[in-house]
Structure 1
């Protein structure tokens, strides 16, 4: 770990990563975009692969999605994953099919990093960014393979950037992240919805609030028509594009010493049974993020409760910002 004396805050941007066959089953109760833990895990794997000799440490990751192509077959309102048949067993019988959800992604990853003083020079930062981009090309992201950009997809091939963090750079970078949507946390809406439900149903729980925000609710309201049975159906309004997301794990058992539990993936490390932790997320346009810290997802672990959780510091604006033609128009001109 770098010392605080020679640390300098910066952003590492890996633009337009094309990921093939990423895991689309993010938890036992959700499917679609990979869990945020897949990206924090990728951050940890990249930091370990670079090693301390690289001179930088990772402290958070932001995710912007540009393309989402689930590998599913549509049949009306029903969707089913495109599955692959496994090879036959030794006795010639057909092996069971294990459901595996896959999705092709086009994402930009933004990392909050600390640079060693030797990397402050621009030429050193460009060299390291190119080296990291080459390392990422051989890694897995959310269980999928990082592929090179399609021929002719871009006029200029996107390149990794390692830039010092200050607002002018953020405004310029956020323009390059368009079109796309950034995933942020909306724990506040979950608590607000819970309070609203409990005014009508005192026995309502956080699960009820989570399910309510995760679906489209149609409600009937009487009309002014002379016929008594006439009603108008409308969908509950939501504050933006809300989605249910898994955000971590909660311990179900004590920490078992390494080698004491059979069938684990790595018997050389301690093992603990866990369950998934859920919350509400929101997809927002990157140009609306004025503070880079509100884009970042960071990991928190509480040893006393056994809770491993990804947290995000996004806060919605209290009031819509007034349009300023001088600054707002400039923000869209490169």
Structure 2
């Protein structure tokens, strides 16, 4: 049975609120990267590895404002010092947020009942986790670090995480809706299906009770919101990457972060997620995100799911491996 490391009520400030084309919560890859970085820093003598991550959101506050007091929100940006000429310095727009989350991180390689190893793991994580950034933000406090070694402890932990919402994988909804669109439009793409989960759409419904006698008069109508293709608190999310270039050998590309590993240029891949109350989660593994790599895809997904159809990036099939970027898109 899987064992999980609980990092409860992590307070984070100035986390990245932009994930590719979406905003409002960090990409799931941020949390998997955090677990991977922790895993690399654990002492080798422990012989442990941190794997998948279940994300529970308790509170979040995106740094936005309404310049006119109403209408669209814009990001509240930092004010940088003026230049040597006394002019306002140029900035890169960044979306930031404060959040409180809990993470349930899968632990691999720990023998059940090994209390000494469990105690050392908890002590190491308590020391290492606050030193790292989570989604680009600073970790202020961590309420509790505990090891959930059996099903009973895991069920109790889920109850103690309420109130909170867990991010679940709903790429099957995307695949189903895409097939539905194809029945009416053979040219419908996955992007069209994804947009219907992302957009807020309204349509006009004619008021049949007040139809004017004169055909030249406009027909009264009411604007009604169009429901999303599936029920639930569904959101567009970024779930990984897709290669848009060949895989270059180590050192072949200049100015990369790590010149000792192979390099490939990528674009973001998108899918659909659902926020569900923690009390509806029967098992932690049902919402545990893990990396799945199969060239040219590198995705985070819940492995219990059976279908995966992420949004294709902007590529043209000019080679056998279909990894060439279309420069005309820009």
Q: Which TM-score applies when normalising by structure 2? A: 0.82
The change in CA–CA distance for 1:221 and 1:197 in structure 2 (over 3 A counts) is farther
1:311 is the counterpart of 2:296: no
2: distance between equivalents of 1:91 and 1:140?
34
Is 40-49 or 94-103 further displaced after alignment?
A: 94-103
2: distance between equivalents of 1:111 and 1:121?
18
Q: Which runs of 5+ in 2 are unaligned?
A: 213-218, 306-330
Q: Which runs of 5+ in 1 are unaligned?
A: 1-7, 150-157, 316-334
Q: Quote the offset at 1:113 in angstroms.
A: 1.1
Aligned counterpart in structure 1 of residue 209 of structure 2, from 225, 248, 261: 225
Equivalent in the alignment of 1:64? 56
2: distance between equivalents of 1:216 and 1:92?
43
1:105 is the counterpart of 2:99: yes
1:141 is the counterpart of 2:134: yes
After superposition, the C-alpha distances for 1:172-202 in whole angstroms (9 at most, x for unaligned) are 1111111110001111111222122223322
The answer to whether the 8 A contact 1:185-1:313 is kept is: no
1:19 is the counterpart of 2:3: no
1: distance between equivalents of 2:81 and 2:256?
24
1: distance between equivalents of 2:84 and 2:291?
44
Equivalent in the alignment of 1:165? 150
The answer to whether the 8 A contact 2:148-2:154 is kept is: no
The change in CA–CA distance for 1:261 and 1:17 in structure 2 (over 3 A counts) is same
Q: Counterparts of 1:54-93 in structure 2 under 5 Å?
A: 54-75=46-67, 76-87=70-81
After superposition, the C-alpha distances for 1:240-299 in whole angstroms (9 at most, x for unaligned) are 111110100000111223333233333333321100000001100111111221110000
Q: Quote the offset at 1:313 in angstroms.
A: 4.2
Q: Quote the offset at 1:222 in angstroms.
A: 3.2
Query: Which secondary structure does the structure 2 equivalent of 1:204 belong to?
Result: coil
Q: Quote the offset at 1:133 in angstroms.
A: 2.0
Query: Which secondary structure does the structure 2 equivalent of 1:160 belong to?
Result: strand
Q: Number of residue pairs matched?
A: 296
Q: Quote the offset at 1:93 in angstroms.
A: 6.0
Query: Which secondary structure does the structure 2 equivalent of 1:159 belong to?
Result: strand
Q: Counterparts of 1:32-71 in structure 2 under 5 Å?
A: 32-71=24-63
1: distance between equivalents of 2:222 and 2:87?
56
The change in CA–CA distance for 1:191 and 1:23 in structure 2 (over 3 A counts) is same
After superposition, the C-alpha distances for 1:41-97 in whole angstroms (9 at most, x for unaligned) are 111100001132233212210000011111122242322222224455677765421
Aligned counterpart in structure 1 of residue 288 of structure 2, from 286, 296, 300: 296
Q: CA RMSD in A?
A: 2.3
2: distance between equivalents of 1:72 and 1:54?
44
1:267 is the counterpart of 2:251: no
Q: Which TM-score applies when normalising by structure 1? A: 0.81
